[in-house]
Amino acid sequence: MTSAASSPSSAGTPGERVAPPPADLVARLRAAGCVFAEDEAVLLVAAARDAHRGTPGVDPGHDGPLEALVERRVAGEPLETVLGWVAFAGLRLGVGPGVFVPRRRTELLARTAVRLARAAGPSPVVVEACCGVAPVASLVAHDVPGADVHAADLDPVAVGWAARNLAGRGHVWTGDLLDPVPARLRGSVHVLVANAPYVPRAAIATMPPEARDHEPHVTLDGGPDGVDVQRRLLALAPTWVRPGGWVLIETSRGQAELTRAACPDGWTVDVLRDDDVDGTVVTARRPT
């Protein structure tokens, strides 16, 4: 059993010195199938202590808060939602039960959005559709001062986490694709970006239990070939993206050509790949 987003060893604080976790806790996590049991145990112990730091008389040990966290993890809940956060591109983003946990592969999408937003000028308009907890919008808001950042998602629970992660540095909207985004932005978006669901429907059953049993299927299900939601969003791009602007879509290596084929006619299309994070992104630029 791996974590939903990444090896938990990438989620800690670089250089942080921590005491070895209890051996029985490591054994329990390993028996439950946690591949990185030692790293997870360290993080769970720290989370239990942080939750009750400064509370006299509270024992964060096995009969207290730590036990509750361990029970959730052993039952298969993603480590990140048990902890309440996920490491993403140098940020610590809040997550909770019932939301899609950002994967490390999406860092390619986020870094590309930051690069293109910076190149667009002093006040770029960036919209993250199907935002979930808004990992891309949060990185843009953090790294591109002056950007006009918007994030939209169909799920009110995810939108609540997106608002927390953006912390007032952007606008968050609830609704399908771009329906809730203010109409005044039509034709003015510099970067439209999305990690829209792209798992072929039949493949969901083969996903790790952390995903298929604990993340909403609407965040995974891309239709029969995995590209249905992408096609719907890309069909809207000419209405929203300004001349010279971009649309960025995360996809998989195997589906990249399907995503490319769904891009608007006449746009310049490319496929980006980062093997270090196993990320694939299709970029399409509207002609000027």
Residue whose C-alpha is closest to residue 174's, from 132, 126, 111, 224: 132
Go through the domains of the chain in sequence order and give each one's CATH number: 8-83 (no CATH), 106-285 (3.40.50.150)
Average pLDDT over residues 46-54: 79
State the Cα–Cα distance between residues 149 and 264, nearest whole angstrom.
23
* CA 190/CA 140 separation, integer angstroms: 12
**pLDDT value of position 52:** 66
pTM for this structure? 0.90
| pLDDT recorded at residue 56 | 43
The pLDDT value given to residue 20: 78
Helices assigned H by DSSP within 104-207: 106-119, 135-143, 156-166
**Band (11; pLDDT cuts 50, 70, 90):** very low
Q: What percent of the chain has pLDDT over 70?
A: 91
pLDDT per residue as tens digits for the range 162-205? 999 999 999 999 999 999 999 999 999 999 999 999 999 999 99
Helix (H), strand (E) at residue 53: none
Residue 17 has pLDDT above 80, yes or no: no
Q: Determine what percent of the chain is predicted with pLDDT higher than 90.
A: 86
Q: What does the pLDDT read at residue 59?
A: 46
Residue 178 phi/psi, 5-degree rounding, is: -100, 5
Residue 29, judged by CB atoms within 10 A of its CB (0-12, 13-18, 19+), counts as buried
Q: Using 50, 70 and 90 to split pLDDT, how confident is the model at 51?
A: confident
Q: Which two tokens stand for residue 5?
A: 């987003």
Instruction: Render 221-242 in DSSP notation, one character per residue.
Output: B--TTS-HHHHHHHHHHHHHEE
Amino acid at 2: T
| Predicted confidence (pLDDT) at residue 57 exceeds the cutoff of 70 | no
What pLDDT is recorded for position 8? 64
Q: Return the pLDDT at 18.
A: 59
Q: How confident is the model at residue 227 (pLDDT cuts 50, 70, 90)?
A: very high
Asked if the model's pLDDT at residue 283 lies above 80, the reply is yes
CA–CA distance, 196 with 233 (Å, rounded to integer)? 8
pLDDT above 50 for 79: yes
Q: What's residue 64's pLDDT? A: 74
With bands split at pLDDT 50, 70 and 90, how would you rate the model's confidence at 9?
Answer: very low
58-74: pLDDT as tens digits: 444 445 799 999 999 99
